[in-house]
Amino acid sequence: MHIDFLVSGFEKSRDKTALICNDRKYTFGNLIDNIYFFKKELSAKQNIPSGSTVLLEGDFTFNTISLFLALTENNCIIVPLNSSSKSDRTELANISESEYVISVNGSDEAEFKKTGIKSSHEFINKIRDRKNPGLILFSSGTSGKPKAAVHDFSGLLKKFRTKREALITLNFLLFDHWGGLNTLFHTLSNSGTTVATADRSPDNICRLIEEYKIELLPSSPTFLNLLLISEAYKRYDLKSLKIISYGTESMSPVTLRKLNSEFPFVKFRQTYGLIETGVLRTKSKDDNSLWLKLGGEGFDVRVRDSILQIKSESNILGYMNYPSPFTEDGYFITGDEVETDGEYYRILGRKSEQINIGGEKVYPAEIENVIRELDNVADAIVYGEKNPVTGNIICADVRLIKDENASDFRVRLKKFCMTKLRAFKIPSRVKILEEIKFSERFKKTSNKS
């Protein structure tokens, strides 16, 4: 079966801690026993046959992880959904043609339901004919309707057969994006320990790092910026950390410099991956650089018209509800515009995110990075709004570290931007918000991971 190599590794490490979920420890032996329990539950009690399409809703808990592995072993097509997701579960079940829904609640109890949906999409049938497990992941569509990206899961699993270093890892990224699942499978396949929590606040993450001597923290620039602002890292001993990896969105050079200054004992690693392709191996020029090499075994990378394209055995079969995203010769068109410097790439952003200002093209990330350099700015998100004269105007939502007179801040912001940006890139409208709700454009991955 497709996870025999995983189970074999679990058997060899039966007494070792595999998972720490919400501060409770489970060994690899516990995990094997729970997988076998759910295999029986799926077939004998719930009558979920091999090849079924199953929406699995939960977070990284002992039972959710065990169910995910049992469903994989049963060659089901799995549709993961994070329990805290604000997405409409019914809509996602309909798009993915999910025949069953398994919900795992906060007490780690599983509830099974049959939807009455009959799945017959050509991609699902293709996976069934191959007798392989499948994986359907959702990313945002340009029309606002989620894209259902369909994987033959055996293609993604293949890379985990190669043994690599296993670190004590905090599984920070989410359950329904490949970044979080990639971290889980990498750690489990190398007999490492995965620490998971539903509380992703800076103080709790720092507490977990100190208590369990976590060595690897996969994260996002947004969280890392929040970590710096909160100064939670000063209240805990984080010296066990060896690597902090970041992806999923644009990293501010200012934030990266601050991180390197505050964590001189940690290696920072930029990652790149997409829901549609899996996670590529990367190598940064240095810890302070946003330039990186992309590719690795099983990936072929090229640039056409400044847009990154990727060919891989782990690429999706396609979208269930959108046109094919592939070139005629099989390369996935990422939509990410890049600059190149020899064998290094710098990701500028999604071409679809560009704001057209009187014919000039603007990337939000460039302006966001400038605003984040300003004193008293916790975070910022930049977007365009329609304008009859210029086509669009630049708008910025800003969250402050401390209260400040709004009018004074706007004047200060515009003066600062004038020293860093051309006039058409300076925000015309600035809102000060207590909380910034980041748009779906940051869910390009894992999830980048």
Which amino acid is present at 152?
D
The SS3 of residue 175 is coil
Task: Indicate the CATH number for domain 4-157.
Answer: 3.40.50.980
Q: What is the pLDDT along the chain (449 residues), one digit of tens a residue?
A: 689 999 999 999 999 999 999 999 999 999 999 999 999 999 988 999 999 999 999 999 999 999 999 999 999 999 999 988 777 899 999 999 999 999 999 899 999 999 999 999 999 999 999 999 999 999 875 556 899 999 999 999 999 999 988 899 999 999 998 999 999 999 999 999 999 999 999 999 999 999 999 999 999 988 998 899 999 999 999 999 999 999 877 788 888 999 999 999 999 999 998 999 999 888 888 888 889 999 878 899 999 999 999 999 899 999 999 999 999 999 999 989 999 999 999 988 877 778 988 888 888 888 998 998 899 998 888 999 988 877 889 999 999 999 999 999 999 999 999 999 999 999 999 999 887 554 433 333 333 33
Secondary structure (DSSP) of 302-313: EEETTEEEEEET
Angle between helices 4-12 and 178-189 (to 10 degrees): 50
Q: What is the pLDDT of residue 354?
A: 84
Opening angle at CA 409, ends 404 and 414, nearest 5: 165
Q: What is the pLDDT of residue 441?
A: 35
Name the pairing type of β-strands 216-219 and 194-196.
Answer: unpaired
Q: What is the pLDDT of residue 437?
A: 52
Name the pairing type of β-strands 377-387 and 391-400.
Answer: antiparallel
**Residues 31 and 19: beta-carbon distance below 8 Å:** yes
Q: What is the pLDDT of residue 442?
A: 39
DSSP state of 162: S
CA dihedral 60→62→64→66, nearest 10 degrees, is 130
Other CB atoms within 10 A of residue 372 CB: 18
Length of the chain, please?
449
DSSP state of 146: P
Domain locations along the chain: 4-157, 354-442
- Give me the CATH topology for the region 354-442: GMP Synthetase; Chain A, domain 3 (3.30.300)
Give the separation between CA 448 and CA 128, rounded to whole angstroms: 28
Which amino acid is present at 51?
G
Beta-carbon-side half-sphere exposure of residue 229 (alpha carbons within 13 Å): 20
